């Protein structure tokens, strides 16, 4: 199943979708517009990677219970982000991830999907 999601995400990338859309839309196609501004590090500002942002959105969509339980959700998302950083030399910001010699966005997209799968999403 994870391989299907990765394949679908890479196909979306070829169609011009940004990294956040590629990750989010394999879980829920209706998120296309919701995550549209998250590409290239939030509106091309180089901040947190759209693929990492999409992981947080998917986790929230799947695990949010209510405002009184938000700390549990924060912990789950923090674990996702830490795993992403472990795979990417400690980086989560697009401006650091896209430096020469680093992984292409397609690999960051598949990293995010693999991490979500590992965590049961």
6-43: pLDDT as tens digits = 999 999 999 999 999 999 999 999 999 999 999 999 99
Look at the chain and report how many structural domains it folds into.
1
Question: Of 65, 39, 33, which Cα lies nearest the Cα of 52?
Answer: 39
> pTM of the prediction?
0.96
Mean pLDDT of the chain: 98
Q: Which domain holds residue 43?
A: 2-118
Element (H, E) at 3: helix 2-14
106-121: pLDDT as tens digits = 999 999 999 999 999 9
pLDDT number for residue 99: 94
């Amino acid at each position: 199943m994870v391989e299907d999601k990765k394949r679908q995400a890479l196909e979306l990338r070829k169609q011009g979708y940004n990294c956040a859309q590629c990750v989010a839309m394999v879980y829920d196609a209706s998120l296309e517009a919701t995550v549209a501004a998250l590409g290239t590090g939030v509106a091309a500002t180089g901040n947190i990677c759209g693929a990492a942002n999409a992981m947080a959105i998917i986790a929230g969509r799947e695990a949010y219970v209510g405002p009184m339980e938000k700390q549990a959700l924060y912990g789950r998302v923090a674990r996702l982000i830490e795993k992403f950083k472990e795979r990417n030399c400690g980086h989560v910001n697009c401006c650091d991830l896209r430096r020469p010699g680093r992984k292409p966005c397609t690999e960051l997209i598949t990293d995010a999907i693999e991490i979500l799968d590992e965590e049961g999403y």
